[in-house]
Structure 1
Amino acid sequence: MKQIISGILSLSLLTTISCGLSDNTKRLILSTSIGCGVGLALGAVYDESQRKKDTKNKKNDFQRQVKESLAMEKKKPQNKGKIVGLGAGCLAGLGTGFYLNTMYDNMAEEMKKQGITLTKSERGGETVALTASMDGGIAFEDGKADLKGKGKENIDKLAEALAAYPETKINITGHANRTGAEDLNQKLSTDRAVTAKDAIIENGVEGKRIGTVQGLGSTSPRKVDGKEIDPKDGSNRRVEVEIVPAS
């Protein structure tokens, strides 16, 4: 029976990889409705007397297998430079903290190459959100809200990452540096947030995953080592994307 459970667990791992699979494989996964939590759910019933302990052990083992599988996928030549994600149905089976930490581990390096900083927010020792901050110096020109060149590449890469982790919700906040009237800065920051939202959706992220879209003007300058930088600095022309588990 243990061998059967092990087989189910291994099979369920197929849904954790959203990149590098053929269309036929993806269709097979969908048609058989195998989710990340299936192996855990079935594994818990094989020995009721040790159910709680067994489930915990299997979950830990399952998480380890997910990490190993993702690492192997990222090493494949066809996946070099790609964001390798988790399929639908994984959040419940893996747990919120593990899901977001896995997302961070697989996104941070590629995001950094694009000038995007990814940071974690924790509560009670568990990761509850991620924030992607685009380098304002390359994201938006002074007084403008349109994305061009490197700024557009940033959004495209971020959207690819978001698409690879479908069980997340996205909150977008725009910012401006402190030049000119604040009412204009407020409008500009809001326009930048809307521009980012539209670009993310155009790149294949479902609109229903977008939560709040707002601008904060120049009221929230970037922080470096815990200290606010000069509000007039151009790097404050930015958009921040908060990534939280889908409710």
Structure 2
Amino acid sequence: MKKSTSILIAIALMFSLSFVSCNAIKNANSTQKGAGVGVAGGALIGGLIGGNITGALIGAAVGGAAGGLIGNSMDKQADKIEEALPGAEVKRVGEGIQVVFDENSGVTFATNKAELTTKAKENLDAIADVFLEFPDTNLLVEGHTDSTGSEDYNMTLSEKRAQSVVSYLQNKGVTSNRFEVTAYGETRPRFDNTTEEGRSKNRRVEIGVSANKDMIEDAKAQAN
């Protein structure tokens, strides 16, 4: 009886600590996030989240004074992205930025399609200008689909959607070495796939913005 009680207490403590840690990160301001999340802690939290953009950005955090400087730069870039794409969801995560294109920001896709619409191109034009203004960043591009069709088909389709965005941004001058593409197919829905509205929102591309090697080295030099 004592042994089982101890196990239950341990599990409860684990969930409590996870809840506190997540809320501490969520409630911190952007600069505090940059300075406060170290590499070891970021990797742990990133692993718990499960390897998506949020986890990748937290896991890539430098931390310390250098992280604070990176966070300041990301604050400015996030503001520019919000101005350029008022309909997109722009979140500061760790020392990076997560951008979710949905039906409001105009970068979505018809069922079974990976081609960019005229509206999508207009919005990508706007965000391309921001990426060109802040060249010392890496761009993680994720493609997603709704649950219509087979898993294998959707995985391929999600990659095509991500590649459509990457190709368009490259044509606008964003260099190819900044991109990393990940396809998730239907495995990571944000909305209910049993409704047409939910499926429409799940046909999306997300972008994570993180510091590249040059920005990290420059921030460390300034911090020292």
Scaled by the length of structure 2, the TM-score of the pair is: 0.59
Deviation at 1:102, TM superposition (A): 1.3
SS at 1:140 equivalent: coil
C-alpha distance after superposition, 1:106-158 (max 9, x if no partner) = 3213211xx32211102xxxxx1101111147421111001011111122211
**Alpha-carbon contact 2:155-2:183 (below 8 Å) kept:** yes
1:239 paired with 2:205, answer yes
1:109 paired with 2:98, answer no
The gaps in structure 2 that reach 5 residues or longer are 1-65, 214-224
Aligned partners of 1:116, 1:157: CA distance in 2, in Å?
12
Aligned-partner residue type, residue 244 of structure 1? S
Selected match of 2:181 from 213, 224, 227: 213
Partner residue, 1:119: 91
**Alpha-carbon contact 1:178-1:231 (below 8 Å) kept:** yes
1:202 paired with 2:181, answer no
Aligned partners of 2:153, 2:75: CA distance in 1, in Å?
38
Aligned pairs, how many?
Answer: 141
Partner residue, 1:129: 96
**Alpha-carbon contact 1:130-1:243 (below 8 Å) kept:** yes
Deviation at 1:103, TM superposition (A): 1.0
Q: Which moved more, 1:189-198 or 1:94-103?
A: 94-103
Partner residue, 1:174: 143
**Alpha-carbon contact 1:218-1:231 (below 8 Å) kept:** no
C-alpha distance after superposition, 1:80-116 (max 9, x if no partner) = xxxxxxxxxxxx8x8201110111123213211xx32
Selected match of 2:122 from 146, 149, 153: 153
**Alpha-carbon contact 1:134-1:154 (below 8 Å) kept:** no
Aligned partners of 2:204, 2:119: CA distance in 1, in Å?
13
Q: Which moved more, 1:149-158 or 1:237-246?
A: 149-158
Aligned partners of 2:156, 2:124: CA distance in 1, in Å?
20
Aligned-partner residue type, residue 161 of structure 2? R
C-alpha distance after superposition, 1:158-208 (max 9, x if no partner) = 111111111111110000011111111111001001111101100111112
Partner residue, 1:95: 69
Identify the structure with the greater helix proportion: 2
Aligned partners of 1:198, 1:132: CA distance in 2, in Å?
17
Aligned partners of 1:160, 1:106: CA distance in 2, in Å?
9
The gaps in structure 1 that reach 5 residues or longer are 1-91, 123-127, 223-228
Aligned partners of 1:149, 1:116: CA distance in 2, in Å?
17
**Alpha-carbon contact 1:136-1:236 (below 8 Å) kept:** no
RMSD of aligned residue pairs (Cα, Å) = 1.7
User: Whose Rg is larger?
Assistant: 1
SS at 1:204 equivalent: coil
SS at 1:169 equivalent: strand
**Alpha-carbon contact 1:136-1:237 (below 8 Å) kept:** no
**Alpha-carbon contact 2:84-2:127 (below 8 Å) kept:** no
